[in-house]
């Protein structure tokens, strides 16, 4: 069994992965609360000269304290890694909700949009511009409230600089002025992105979507889009005022907040005025990037797959009904999903390697983790998937599959095709008896 600790935190499964960071589920053993830990390799940060960017992201997340923004608890560092301890959000991505349900009702979309705008307005009041607002960066908590995450592309104002000049973000959500390389107002650019998100929520698809980038940019620059017939006149009018290609005449947040459609059932979010924000721990982590601040302990026997602990199982299964562990609905795929197998872990690994290679992907394997890499369908960038094997119970293994790079919709298509080729190793338990026996086995295994 493998146990990994980070000071007072017990680290568990990987729940997210990107080019420069990995996010793991963890539990604060002192407070008994679940958290998410974003882990960055110092060598990678130094190699790619990202020290300033990462320091900025951490500083921003400590500065912005709002109910609709993922909260940063603390920052820790070891000799080789930086750990960002974040609020653990259980409701998933807003993007998944749209993929699952299609377009959302206008009233529900309005509520999400109101929460989004409140949080963005708060960020702007602190001089922070997100610059990568999209449904994939909007999470939902257990009560269904929206939470903005991922401030990796955020900008803080620099003294004497009025306009931002970096082209960043996801192309479909970018404002025309961001694409023009002329310099842009971060506030107006964020408003545009909010407008695209509102459109996607109610339409179920993007206002600007083309297979190649030149055509996409052309449509964005001309604000060439049409609203579907189910849009009410009120939201149609507001979206046209937001998706104005001229940032000088584009409606501002204060204008949106006085719009009749926006104001319906609007309750401004209440939050306590910020406590004094201390950035000493951020400075300590980066001022001497090689110092050791916390202990990392890893105890293992025979380097088998990680054993999933009870807290993780309960979080995954929303109680002890373990049916949520199994992806029976192949038409509904999240950015992170999973399958279960009764085959030996090494057989799962070799099968995944063979399937990945048959799909034209490069496969990298280390211990019980795999990374499958290829080129995205539109040849615009890298496509990558990460897979990790966990031992759930004796002779029962769970494979966590995550999008590591590339387009989320492309990942959805990949996962369906991928699973169809793995049918012979995927175990699908029968309803009823399997649930209760597995639940009992889990309790007994964890000494309860």
Q: Which residues are annotated as a binding site for ATP?
A: 47
Catalytic residue, candidates 96, 118, 121, 132: 132
For residues 158 and 431, what is the distance between their CA atoms, to the nearest angstrom? 58
Count of CB atoms within 10 A of residue 199's CB?
24
CA atoms within 13 A on the CB side of 418: 25
Distance CA 405, CA 360 (A): 16
* Contacts with 48 (C-beta within 8 Å, 6 or more apart), sequence order: 20
Residue 280 among the catalytic residues: no
CA atoms of 211 and 213, how far apart (whole Å): 7
| Residue 23 CB neighbours (<10 A) | 20
Phi-psi region of 150 (alpha: psi -120 to 50; beta: other; left: phi over 0): left
| Nearest-angstrom CA–CA distance, 373 and 375 | 7
What does the alpha-carbon distance between residue 232 and residue 236 come to, in Å, rounded to a whole number? 6
Helix, strand, coil shares of the chain, percent, nearest 5, are 35, 20, 40
Q: How far is CA 44 from the centre of its chain?
A: 20
* DSSP-derived secondary structure letter, 277: P
Task: Collect contacts of 156-160 with beta carbons under 8 A, ≥24 apart.
Answer: 156/56, 156/59, 156/60, 156/127, 156/128, 157/127
Enumerate the active-site residues: 132
């Amino acid at each position: 069994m493998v146990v990994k600790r980070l000071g007072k935190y017990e680290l568990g499964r990987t729940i997210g992965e990107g080019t420069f960071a990995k996010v793991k589920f963890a539990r604060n053993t002192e407070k008994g609360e679940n958290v998410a830990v974003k882990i960055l390799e110092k060598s990678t940060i130094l190699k790619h000269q990202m020290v300033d960017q990462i320091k900025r992201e951490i500083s921003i997340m400590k500065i912005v304290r709002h109910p609709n923004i993922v909260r940063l608890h603390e920052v820790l560092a070891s000799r080789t890694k930086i750990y960002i301890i974040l609020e653990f959000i259980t409701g998933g991505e807003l993007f998944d909700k749209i993929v699952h349900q299609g377009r959302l009702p206008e009233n529900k979309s309005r509520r999400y949009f109101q929460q989004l705008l409140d949080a963005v307005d708060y960020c702007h009041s602190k001089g922070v511009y997100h610059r990568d607002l999209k449904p994939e960066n909007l999470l939902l908590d257990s009560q269904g409230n929206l939470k903005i995450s991922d401030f990796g592309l955020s900008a803080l104002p620099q003294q004497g600089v009025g306009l931002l000049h970096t082209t960043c973000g996801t192309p479909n959500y970018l404002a025309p002025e961001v694409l023009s390389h002329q310099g842009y107002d971060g506030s107006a650019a964020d408003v545009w992105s909010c407008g695209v998100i509102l459109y996607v929520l109610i339409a179920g698809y993007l206002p600007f979507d083309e297979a190649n980038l030149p055509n996409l940019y052309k449509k964005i620059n001309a604000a060439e889009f049409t609203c579907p017939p189910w849009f009410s006149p009120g939201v149609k009018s507001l979206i046209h005022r937001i998706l104005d290609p001229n940032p000088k005449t584009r409606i501002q947040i204060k204008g949106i907040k006085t719009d009749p459609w926006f104001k319906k059932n609007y309750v401004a979010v209440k939050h306590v005025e910020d406590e004094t924000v201390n950035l000493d721990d951020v400075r300590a982590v980066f001022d001497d990037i090689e110092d050791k601040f916390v202990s990392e302990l890893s105890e293992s026997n025979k380097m088998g797959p990680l054993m999933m602990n009870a807290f993780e199982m309960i979080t995954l299964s929303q109680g002890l009904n373990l049916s949520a562990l199994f992806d029976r609905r192949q038409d509904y795929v999240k950015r992170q999903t999973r399958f279960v197998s009764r085959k030996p872990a090494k057989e799962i690994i070799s099968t995944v390697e063979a399937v990945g290679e048959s799909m034209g992907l490069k496969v990298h394997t280390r211990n019980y983790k795999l990374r499958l890499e290829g080129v995205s369908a539109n040849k615009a960038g890298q496509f990558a998937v990460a897979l990790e094997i966990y031992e759930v119970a004796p002779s029962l293994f769970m494979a966590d599959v995550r999008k590591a790079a590339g387009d989320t919709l492309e990942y959805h298509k990949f996962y369906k095709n991928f699973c169809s080729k793995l049918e012979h190793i995927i175990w699908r338990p029968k309803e009823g008896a399997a649930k209760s026996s597995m639940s009992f086995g889990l309790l007994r295994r964890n000494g309860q």
